[in-house]
Amino acid sequence: MKTRIVVVGNGMVGHKFIDNLVNHADRDQYQVITFSEESRLAYDRVQLSKYFSGSTAEDLMLTSTDYYNEKGVQYILGDKVIDLDFDNKEIITASGRREAYDKLILATGSFPFVPPIPGNNGEHCLVYRTIEDLERITASAQQSKIGVVVGGGLLGLEAAAALKAAGLETHVVEFAPRLMAVQLDEGGGKLLRRKIESIGVRVHTQKATNEIVAGAESRYRMNFADGSHLETDMILFSAGIRPQDELARKCGIGLGERGGIVVDNNCQTTVKDVYAIGECALWNNRIYGLVAPGYQMAKVALSHITGGKDQFTGADMSTKLKLLGVDVASVGDAHGNTPGSLSYTYSNDVEEVYKRIIVSADNKKLLGAVLVGDVEAYGTLQSMCVNGMDLPEDPNCLILPNVDGGGAAIGVDALPESACVCSCYDVSKGAICCAVQDGARTMGDIKAITKASTGCGGCSALAKQVMDSELKKIGVEVSNHICEHFPHSRRELADIVRIKQIKTFDDLLDQHGRGLGCDICKPAVGSILAGFWNEYVLDKKHIGLQDTNDIFLGNMQKDGSYSIVPRIAGGEITPEKLIVLGEVAKEYKLYTKITGGQRIDLFGAQLHQLPAIWKKLVDAGFETGHAYGKSLRTVKSCVGSTWCRYGVLDSVGMAVMLENRYKGVRSPHKMKFAVSGCTRECAEAQSKDFGVIATETGWSLYVCGNGGMRPRHADLFATGLDDVTLIKYIDRVMMFYIRTADRLQRTSVWMENMEGGLDYLKKVVIDDKLGLCEELEAQMNYNISQYQCEWKTTVENEELQKRFKHFINSEARDDNLAYVVEREQIRPATALERKSNNIQLVELVD
Amino acid sequence: MSEKPWISVCEINDLLPDTGVCALVNKQQVAIFRSRRLNEVFAVSNYDPVGEANVLSRGMIGSIGDEVVVASPLYKEHYNLRTGECLEKPGYKIPVFPVRLDDGLVQIQA
Ligand SMILES: Cc1cc2nc3c(=O)[nH]c(=O)nc-3n(C[C@H](O)[C@H](O)[C@H](O)COP(=O)(O)OP(=O)(O)OC[C@H]3O[C@@H](n4cnc5c(N)ncnc54)[C@H](O)[C@@H]3O)c2cc1C
Ligand code: HEM
Ligand code: SF4
Ligand code: SF4
Ligand code: FES
């Protein structure tokens, strides 16, 4: 007869146990039935906060009734187990159902602790644990302006971010002197506080709440022990969890002093044939409030039942905060509680980074770490700690920025095969290497085969390093082929297109590629073709090559609407044109913003409105700004000698001329220019791809600068230039870039990778070392002669406008677009606002 | 169960080769693509479950290995046009609809 296993609780861990069992080699010998108090099968509590960013209960499910049916798992939902009869080996539920067991698994999880404060049971005093809790929070948030989270731990901060996203004025009240007191030391806590405050959440530490009473302005008033108070409309308790041991307590199963079902290394309780796993279990006087240790327990209990040898011997408590824009992580013994431990600290207030590592007394092993602001080293540190690896000779290099260019990157080769890379899914380095041996080539493959990196995501950088290193070992060349469809780099493809005079993607694919092409090679080839031949990008031959933005000549925004960016060369605009922009924006209710590129973007245009809006702009003399293309963006300028007291040359005039000359030229990546009227450099030209600065002796040309994520100061290329020479040099450098750069390589990186660097580029462009200059100039002149304003072409041809419709067979518009008003203009409604029925949506213009 | 009727949404010539359009069929947004090389038409849901917007018809089609895919215009996940499965994010799957050509008309069952 089959062994009957009853699993009480179908949460994350209970489900894991069942899933392991039904995939076990001996599965046929067991019959499993599970009971859940909740109304649905197991869902992903770890990702619960995603509910606020639009995930549905459905998305969060870890399993389905179909899956359980297929695997022969019986499940009873919404029926709580209320008693156990050990003599007859039966469980009894609230509905009176009795079920016999041979082995009983308690996976009852935990419940949120609500501090015993008078007044804590109001209608808008809530907790954060289940999907139903989130539904209550959503409902309450709609009737509230201010929200307070009690508890500044990992969960509390997650909850605060959710309230903030729901549009509430959000406060966190913490009893301890700092946030995330369990994980962070004082320095880390301080910096975290600054970061949390900078996303607009108010933090109050060292506040003990005495009572909650009716408020004067808001629904409630919290009175604190120090005499201060805070008014709020809702309160969310996140003051820790308590093991759900009610059932065990009632039936006399051994508990810890402060609760929790006592288990041994096999996850057995004090009662025969009864196991406890997950957050309800107390091992070595410790509750593990994380999912990974629970999964380990699930494995151990199953192993014991099926005659295996796995033991539970404690688990790693490293954690990472899942908050956008606030990076915090702690590893192992973050407080340095181990006797004799030493620590190293790196703290940088300017960049808001705090890192501390705790090492053993002999300075040989890593015991723990705290990271705030820069958590890149998390994966490495965590595996060093868990796997007991030796510290590098100088442990400082683990936390100092870029020592020897290496930073915290310790070779993954030093990790043992058994090292745990992904603790969510217990995936070892060996398992990832095996997957690579079996043919995995991308992180996508690794995720699909091993499940690594599909939980909290904290291990993704480390997992990729392991994969890359293994790929290298088995001799898979990290090839420069643009993608699987062409065995060539972008530069090689550019040569082929130019030399063979190829005019279409299809010809190139026929002659040099295979398959259908993809979203990597198509836009790249589209850019090469345009870079040399500059034909209308929406021509039938080319339209399939145009990326998201190019294909409708506008930048797609997050909700599928578009931005409208007319060219305002050099940032110079007449009052008449300014008025036209305002009128058009008003007519179509577009959000209006002045960009860093010295022009004006209009946001929130629907696809079908684009031709009509552009018709008005084109009629008023505007041209497309190519904000959508990999091409020249803007030429920024200062006001220059015409007005400025210091100016020596007309920077605005030069900027307007340059912008009009190079507008529409397609390139491997976008290009930005700036022109300053004197060396005070108000236009910040040295941070641009092409920077021009006026001097007493003529123009200075700077090339290959960059702002953004990885700023690069532009290199001084030539000085004392007259207008004609300046343009000649820019023509040549730009066309050389178009010919030789890699796909999506900005000029800065192109320069850094160029053999011979700046000197070589000067030899090619100034000394004509390759005898190319004439050709480069001719090519540029041809390209420029082919210029057209794509929007002008489009609004003048009805046939071309047909595509600008949401539906091919209906005049309806996309009913998913929804906007609300903020600071007197529209913005897309958040997921939460969409769900709510009392938020005022903006009526859209047709 | 009776089969859903075939509904004509546009002419094949309305579909530029290697691009997509969106059609409204029984209140559902259906993204339709035409591959010139395969001489084949595909129909899937227009809703991008990752970006949470109705935009897939504006994505780029192509192949990855032997699979015909569309890349989401928002965050570039790939969906198999025959099965609806997401290549990068297992678990995300978009509905696929039967589609046929009848005398130059594109017809969908949805
Ligand atoms: C918002 C949030 C964010 C989190 N983030 C992370 C994170 O980033 N990383 C991490 O590692 N962990 C995180 N956690 C913790 C993680 O979710 C838990 O560790 C995990 O869910 C524990 O699983 P469990 O099965 O032990 O308990 P649960 O998932 O709580 O499951 C227990 C189930 O048993 C049911 N039950 C209880 N008693 C009975 C009974 N008598 N009869 C029938 N059914 C019963 C309960 O209703 C519940 O459904 C987070 C938790 C929350 C709430
Ligand atoms: C990979 C990195 C980048 C991405 C993905 C990116 C994306 C974008 C997008 C989508 C827009 C257009 C908004 C719209 O009209 O819809 C934009 C505009 C802009 N970005 Fe970036 N950007 C990047 C890097 C940079 C860098 C490095 C800088 C500055 C040094 C920068 C400065 C600007 C400016 C000034 C604008 C407004 C431009 C204009 O008026 O046309 N961006 N960016
Ligand atoms: S760069 Fe020189 S010319 Fe231009 S605004 Fe500044 S001071 Fe004036
Ligand atoms: S910095 Fe650039 S890419 Fe980032 S949000 Fe702003 S516009 Fe978008
Ligand atoms: S450690 Fe969480 S996904 Fe790998």
What six digits make up the tokens of A216?
């004067």
Contacts of B65 in chain A (CB under 8 A): 484
* pLDDT tens track for A332-378: 888 888 888 888 888 888 888 888 899 988 888 889 898 888 887 88
* Residue B52, in any domain of the structure: yes
Cα–Cα–Cα angle for B55, B56, B59, rounded to 5 degrees: 105
For tokens 């002093």, the residue is: A257
Contact B74 A517 (CB under 8 A): no
Q: What is the pLDDT of residue A456?
A: 67
Rounded mean pLDDT, A648-673: 95
User: Is A596 near ligand 2, meaning CB less than 6 Å away?
Assistant: yes
For residue A217, the Cα-to-chain-centroid distance in whole angstroms is: 38
Using only the alpha carbons of chain B, give its radius of gyration. Answer: 13
Task: Judge contact between A442 and A436, C-beta under 8 A.
Answer: no
* pLDDT tens track for A135-192: 999 999 999 999 999 999 888 998 998 888 888 999 999 998 999 888 788 888 888 9
- Please name the residue whose Cα sits nearest to atom 5 of ligand 3: A638
Cα separation, A781 vs A777, in Å, equals 6
Ligand whose nearest atom lies closest to the CA of A424:
5
User: Is A555 near ligand 2, meaning CB less than 6 Å away?
Assistant: yes
Contacts of A844 (CB under 8 A, 6+ apart): A589, A606, A813, A817, A819
- Quote the ligand 3 centre to A749 CA distance (angstroms): 29
- Quote the ligand 5 centre to A438 CA distance (angstroms): 22
What six digits make up the tokens of B79?
């969906």
CA dihedral A686, A690, A694, A695 (to 10 degrees): 70
Domains of chain A: 3-111+243-305 (3.50.50.60), 125-239 (3.50.50.60), 316-410 (3.30.390.30), 490-548 (no CATH), 631-788 (3.30.413.10)
Residue A537, classified by CB atoms within 10 Å of its CB into exposed (0-12), middle (13-18) or buried (19+), is buried
Is A271's pLDDT higher than 50? yes
* Residue B108, in any domain of the structure: no
Confidence class of residue A404 from pLDDT cuts 50, 70 and 90?
Answer: very low
Cα separation, A301 vs A266, in Å, equals 6
Cα distances (angstroms) measured from residue A16 to each of A76, A420, A671, B55:
17, 19, 51, 36
DSSP string, A765-806: HTS-TTS-HHHHHHHHHHHHHT---HHHHHHT-HHHHTT--S
* Residue B77, in any domain of the structure: yes
- Please name the residue whose Cα sits nearest to atom 53 of ligand 1: A129
Q: Torsions phi, psi of A763, nearest 5?
A: -60, -40
Helices vs strands, H then E, count in chain A: 25, 39
* Residue B43, in any domain of the structure: yes
Is A484's pLDDT higher than 80? yes
User: Is A41 near ligand 1, meaning CB less than 6 Å away?
Assistant: no
Give the residue numbers spanning the domain of B80: 15-97
Rounded mean pLDDT, A545-573: 92
Rounded mean pLDDT, A518-547: 86
Cα separation, A643 vs A639, in Å, equals 6
Confidence class of residue A409 from pLDDT cuts 50, 70 and 90?
Answer: very low
Cα separation, A546 vs A543, in Å, equals 6
Cα–Cα–Cα angle for A528, A533, A539, rounded to 5 degrees: 90
Contact B53 A485 (CB under 8 A): no
Cα separation, B109 vs B97, in Å, equals 6
CA dihedral A801, A805, A807, A809 (to 10 degrees): -40
What six digits make up the tokens of A312?
């539970």
Neighbours of A418 (CB within 10 A): 10
Chain length of chain A = 846
Percent pLDDT > 70 in chain A is 97
- CA nearest A72: which of A156, A4, A152, A132? A4
The residue ranking higher by pLDDT, A219 or A833, is A219
Please tell me if residue A803 touches chain B, with a CB cutoff of 8 Å.
yes
- Please name the residue whose Cα sits nearest to atom 45 of ligand 1: A9
Is A489's pLDDT higher than 90? no
* Residue B104, in any domain of the structure: no
Q: What is the pLDDT of residue A162?
A: 86
Q: Which atom of ligand 5 is nearest to the CA of A457?
A: 3
Q: Give the chain B residue nearest A519 (alpha carbons).
A: B60
Confidence class of residue A478 from pLDDT cuts 50, 70 and 90?
Answer: low
Contact A540 B74 (CB under 8 A): no
User: Is A423 near ligand 5, meaning CB less than 6 Å away?
Assistant: yes
The residue ranking higher by pLDDT, A745 or A8, is A8
Pair type for strands A274-276 and A103-106: parallel
Task: Judge contact between A368 and A332, C-beta under 8 A.
Answer: yes
User: Is A131 near ligand 1, meaning CB less than 6 Å away?
Assistant: no
Provide the sign of the torsion angle of the four alpha carbons A618, A623, A627, A631, taken in this order.
positive
DSSP string, A129-152: SSHHHHHHHHHHHHT-SEEEEE--
* Residue B93, in any domain of the structure: yes
Rounded mean pLDDT, A773-791: 91
Q: How far is A517 from chain B (nearest CA, A)?
A: 5
Report the CATH number at residue B50.
2.102.10.10
Cα separation, A605 vs A612, in Å, equals 10
For residue B55, the Cα-to-chain-centroid distance in whole angstroms is: 11
* pLDDT tens track for A620-644: 999 999 998 899 999 999 999 999 9
**Pocket-forming residues, ligand 3, beta carbon under 6 Å:** A 638-640, 644, 646-647, 651, 676-678, 680-682
- Please name the residue whose Cα sits nearest to atom 1 of ligand 5: A422
Is A454's pLDDT higher than 80? no
Please tell me if residue A515 touches chain B, with a CB cutoff of 8 Å.
yes
Rounded mean pLDDT, A89-102: 95
3-state helix, strand and coil shares in percent for chain B, rounded to the nearest 5: 5, 50, 45
Q: What is the pLDDT of residue A406?
A: 37
Cα separation, A554 vs A398, in Å, equals 44
- CA nearest A677: which of A647, A704, A718, A642? A647
Is A726's pLDDT higher than 70? yes
Cα separation, A543 vs A529, in Å, equals 12
| Interface confidence (ipTM) of the complex | 0.88
Is B71's pLDDT higher than 90? yes
Which of A807, A817, A830 to mutate against chain B (most B CBs within 10 Å)?
A: A807
Q: Domain total for chain B?
A: 1
Confidence class of residue A278 from pLDDT cuts 50, 70 and 90?
Answer: very high
Contacts of B18 in chain A (CB under 8 A): 543-544
Is A494's pLDDT higher than 80? yes
Cα separation, A607 vs A556, in Å, equals 9
* Residue B24, in any domain of the structure: yes
**Contacts A–B by Cβ distance under 8 A:** 108
* Residue B10, in any domain of the structure: no
